Amino acid sequence: MKPGLAVVIVGEDPASQVYVASKSKMAKECGFHSVQHTLSADISEAELRALVADLNADPAVHGILVQLPLPQHIDSGAVIRTIDPDKDVDGFHVVNVGRLGAGELDGAFVPCTPAGAMLMIERARGRDLSGLSAVVIGRSNIVGKPMAALLLSVDCTVTIAHSRTPDLEATCRDADVLVVAVGRAEMVRGSWIKPGATVIDVGINRVSGVYGKSHLVGDVHFDSAAEVAGALTPVPGGVGPMTVACLLRNTLVAARAQLAGGAA
């Protein structure tokens, strides 16, 4: 039996389409059973929840991912709560959010971007992160909040900064580990960074270049930051591939658990 991943995308957001295509492609390349459901933007919430219920009941599907954001007329929380927590390989269901918040990491599916970021932080600094000052800019459910919970679980002193934080630069300069997930192109400059800090850039922003050609940049100004940071992730090619790798890892873990439990 192959590990099975179902990816659901609603509407035509170009960035979401790119992310979803790379998740489905990598799942296939790794020999997973991979199915993608591409739905029109005007699908009703009830229809979407019915599809998720079908996937919950499908023994060939061990992991379900509903790409966010969803169109405004759909309550994302209600859709995510429809996913069986044992198939919630994104770690967005309140059951998995609660496990992470309570420090019950063994049984939890941890959101893939923060999980991938942790692997890179540990690669740069070693597994003992205890006592380090960690600053996470951004408070989303997808990255900022779970990232902060993970850093806290390994005994970092964690600050969550956001658009209302008064002196963001000074807060950043205090960080041994800085994770930036704000969605603003090149906002964090080298002068904001503590020398030797580990910097994880979660941003993916499309900007237009000099000859009208667009390209991708992160939330961190790479060239100035690279002069100061001890380690810095590039965009593209840094956090993105780690997110996909962690998604496949979560799907494999889900498949093994479901097969062991006789659910599949």
Q: Which of 84, 86, 88, 90 is catalytic?
A: 90
Smallest distance, Å, CB 20 to ligand GUN? 8
Q: Is 90 annotated in the active site?
A: yes
User: Which helix (H) or strand (E) is 133 found in, with range?
Assistant: strand 133-137
Distances (CA, A) of 111 to 71, 118, 189, 216, 221: 21, 11, 27, 23, 26
- Quick note: the x/- pattern for ligand GUN over 15-44, rule CB under 6 A, is ------------------------------
Q: Which of 36, 67, 84, 219 is catalytic?
A: 67
Span 222-261, contacts to ligand GUN by CB under 6 A: 243
- Quick note: the x/- pattern for ligand GUN over 119-158, rule CB under 6 A, is -----------------------x----------------
**Whose structure tokens read 């408070």?**
139
Among 6, 9, 61, 66, binds ligand GUN (CB under 6 A): 66
Residue closer to ligand GUN (CB basis): 43 or 259: 43
Distances (CA, A) of 73 to 7, 13, 45, 236: 20, 15, 8, 31
**How buried is residue 211: exposed, middle or buried, by Cβ count under 10 Å (0-12/13-18/19+)?**
exposed
Q: Which of 192, 240, 243, 247 is nearest to 220 (CA)?
A: 192
Span 68-97, contacts to ligand GUN by CB under 6 A: 68, 90
Please count the other Cβ atoms lying within 10 Å of the Cβ belonging to residue 214.
9
Q: Which residues are catalytic?
A: 23, 67, 90
- Which chain residues interact with ligand GUN by CB under 6 A? 65-68, 90, 112-113, 142, 243
